Structure 1
Amino acid sequence: MASHDTPSRSGHGRVPTAPDPLPIAVVDNHTHLDIARDGEPAPDVAAAVAQAAAVGVDRMVQIGCDLPGARFTVDVVDQHPAMLGGVALHPNEAPRLAATGEFRDAYAEIESLAAHPRVRVIGETGLDYYRTGPEGVAAQQESFRWHIDLAKRTGKALQIHDRDAHADVLRILEEEGAPDRTVLHCFSGDMAMARTCAERGYHLSFAGTVTFKNANGLRDALAVTPLDRLLVETDAPYLTPAPWRGATNAPYLVPLTVRAMAGVLGVAVPTLCQALSDNSEAVYGPW
C-alpha cells in the first residue's frame, strides 16, 4: 500500500473502462482487494478476478498489510486459484503497535498466517518516513528487520514498501542479508538505486506511477532495469495509471501500465508480458 497518490476530486468516482487485453497474461504483483476507497463499497473479489482475467491479468498477489487484511488474505487465497497472498505489518502500523504494546502478539499472528501454503510473500514491510515522524523510525526499523528474518526463516519472498527512506531500506537489507527473493514494491527510486537493486538481485515492481506526467525520473529508473528484474502491479485501489489517475484502481487496469513500460523500455508488448509472467513465477512459484 503505497498511498503515493492523492485522488483528485474529478477523478475519484469515475469508473475506468477496460483496456485492450494483453497478448500474453501477466501477474498483478501487488493489490489490496480488502481495501475500499472512502465512501465506496468493498471490492467484489470474484468480479475483480474475472474482470482482470478478461484483459490478460490472470494471476495476482493479494497483500494484507495489517492484521484484519492479513486474515482476509488467508481466507481469500483459498477461494480463488488466481490469487496468492502476502501478509505483514505495514511500516505505518509499527509505531501504533509499539505504542500500545501489541507488537509481540501481532508478530505471532503474522507468523502463524504466513505458514499458509498459498501465502508466498512476507510483505508489505519496510520503511515509510513520509507519514511517520522521527519518533516512529525505531519501531519501523525493528519491524522491518523482524519481517526480513521471517521471510528467510519461511523461505518466502519479501515485498518492501519504501517511501522517503531509500538509503535506510538499502542499508538494512544489506545489514540483515536480503532474502533470496526480494521485491521493491511500487518502486520509487532513481536510476542509481535501480542499478543497485538489480546488481543485488532484487526485483523492482512498477505501478501506475510510471505513467504519470511528472514521473520522468521513475521512467529513467525503469529504463535501466534489466528485463529479468521487472514486475508490474496496481497497488489497487491506489495509484491508478493514466489516463485514469485519481479514479479507483483495480487489477484489470494493469495493461495500461504494461504498455507504458514497454514504450519506455523499447520492447514489444508480448516480450515484456512474457518476462513479467516468468519473473512472477520465479519469485512466487506457480499459482
Structure 2
Amino acid sequence: MKSDRPAPEPPAPLAPLIDAHTHLDACGAIDPDGVRAIVDRAAAVGVGRVVTVADDLAAARFTVEAAHWDSRVFAAVAIHPTRANALDDATKAEIERLASDPRTVAVGETGLDYYWPGKLEGCAGIEEQVEGFRWHIDLAKRLRKPLMIHNREADHDLLAVLLDEGAPPTVIFHCFSSDATMALACVEAGYILSFSGTVSFRNARELHEAAKLVPDEQLLVETDAPYLTPHPFRGAPNEPYCLPYTVRALAQLRDQAPEDLAAAATANAERVYRLPWA
C-alpha cells in the first residue's frame, strides 16, 4: 500500500495482543526476512502473534508459507467474495489443500461484498459471491476450522446464507463495520466480532454504538493492515505494530481498561483460532 503520509510512530506497548487479521504480503513482506521484520516491530509493542489472511490464490500460498517461516504467524485462506468468479475446480482444490495445513487457523476471508459489483471491473456478481460463500462455509465445516467473514453492505443476505447453510461452530466477522442491530444479531447467534482501526474513526458513530454491545468473550481486535490505519494516522500505512492504538480507542468507547480489553481479546483469539504456540 502506497501512502504519502509517514508511517505512524510506534505506540506505547500493550501486551499481550494478537492481530486477528492482517495482510503481511500487502504490507510488503515477500520473504522470511520481510515477515520477520514486520512481526518483530509488532512484538516490540506487545503484538506477539498475527494471523495473515489471503484474498486470492497467490496470497493464500504466501500466507501458508509465511506461517511456516515464523512461528508467530498463522494463516487464513480463502478467495475474497469480489473474486469469487475465480473459484473454478482447480482453485477450490488448491484452497482446500492450503486450508488443511496445520498452520492455517481459519477459512477466510470469504463472505459477501455488495459495494463493488458494478464499480470494479471484473468483480464477481452477487450470485457468484453467494455460491462462493456457500462453498467456503462447507469447507470450514468439513475442516472444522473457523469461518472468517468479509461483509460490506450485505448484512441481511449474509445472515440468511449462514442460516440456510448452517454456520460452522465458529464464525468471525472480520473488521465489523455494521450498526448496533447487526451487532446484536451476531452476538445472539454466537458469532465473534473483530474490530479494526475503523472503530477509532470519529465519524463512525453507528459502529461506536455497536462496539459497546459486544460481550468481552465475543470480541477480537485486528489491523487489517496495510489498510484502515487508526486515528489519528488515517491514510498512513498500517502494520500490526499499530494495533495498540485501536485497542486503546476501543477500550475508551467501552469504558474499559486497555489492559483488560487486550487480555480478553487475546484469550478469545487463542480460543477461536486454537493457538497452542505462545
TM-score by length of 1: 0.90
Task: Give percent identity, aligned residues only.
Answer: 49
Report the 3-state secondary structure (helix = DSSP H, G, I; strand = E; otherwise coil) of the residue aligned with 1:117.
Answer: coil
Partners in 2 of 1:76 and 1:103 — Cα distance? 25
CA contact (8 A) 2:82 2:113 kept: yes
Question: For 1:165-195, what per-residue CA distance to the aligned partner results, in whole angstroms no more than 9, with x for missing partners?
Answer: 1111111111111111110000011101101
Aligned residue in 2 for 1:174: 163
Partners in 2 of 1:255 and 1:183 — Cα distance? 20
Aligned residue in 2 for 1:12: 4
Aligned residues: 270
Unaligned stretches of 5+ residues in structure 1: 1-6
Partners in 2 of 1:14 and 1:172 — Cα distance? 41
What code does the residue aligned with 1:34 have? D
Match of 1:143 among 132, 146, 163: 132
Partners in 1 of 2:70 and 2:25 — Cα distance? 14
Structure 1 residues 118-267: aligned runs within 5 Å: 118-133=103-118, 136-267=125-256
Partners in 1 of 2:228 and 2:274 — Cα distance? 26
Output the aligned Cα RMSD: 1.7
Partners in 2 of 1:103 and 1:187 — Cα distance? 29
Quote the offset at 1:13 in angstroms.
3.6
What code does the residue aligned with 1:171 have? A
Quote the offset at 1:65 in angstroms.
1.4
2:28 aligned with 1:28: no
What code does the residue aligned with 1:158 have? L
Partners in 1 of 2:36 and 2:225 — Cα distance? 15
Quote the offset at 1:42 in angstroms.
5.8
Unaligned stretches of 5+ residues in structure 2: none
Report the 3-state secondary structure (helix = DSSP H, G, I; strand = E; otherwise coil) of the residue aligned with 1:131.
Answer: coil
Structure 1 residues 89-100: aligned runs within 5 Å: 89-95=79-85, 97=86
Aligned residue in 2 for 1:3: none
Report the 3-state secondary structure (helix = DSSP H, G, I; strand = E; otherwise coil) of the residue aligned with 2:13.
Answer: coil
Partners in 2 of 1:135 and 1:31 — Cα distance? 23
Aligned residue in 1 for 2:63: 73
Partners in 2 of 1:129 and 1:266 — Cα distance? 33
Partners in 2 of 1:12 and 1:82 — Cα distance? 30
Quote the offset at 1:110 in angstroms.
0.1
CA contact (8 A) 1:35 1:42 kept: no
Match of 1:114 among 96, 99, 117: 99
Partners in 2 of 1:175 and 1:153 — Cα distance? 17
Aligned residue in 1 for 2:52: 62
Partners in 1 of 2:78 and 2:45 — Cα distance? 29
Quote the offset at 1:79 in angstroms.
1.0
Report the 3-state secondary structure (helix = DSSP H, G, I; strand = E; otherwise coil) of the residue aligned with 1:168.
Answer: helix
Report the 3-state secondary structure (helix = DSSP H, G, I; strand = E; otherwise coil) of the residue aligned with 1:174.
Answer: helix
CA contact (8 A) 2:77 2:106 kept: yes
Quote the offset at 1:41 in angstroms.
8.1
Quote the offset at 1:269 in angstroms.
1.3
Partners in 2 of 1:187 and 1:273 — Cα distance? 17
CA contact (8 A) 2:187 2:214 kept: yes
CA contact (8 A) 2:29 2:35 kept: no
CA contact (8 A) 2:81 2:124 kept: no
CA contact (8 A) 1:148 1:178 kept: yes
Quote the offset at 1:12 in angstroms.
3.4
Partners in 2 of 1:139 and 1:273 — Cα distance? 38
The runs of at least 4 consecutive aligned structure 1 residues that moved more than 6 Å come to: none
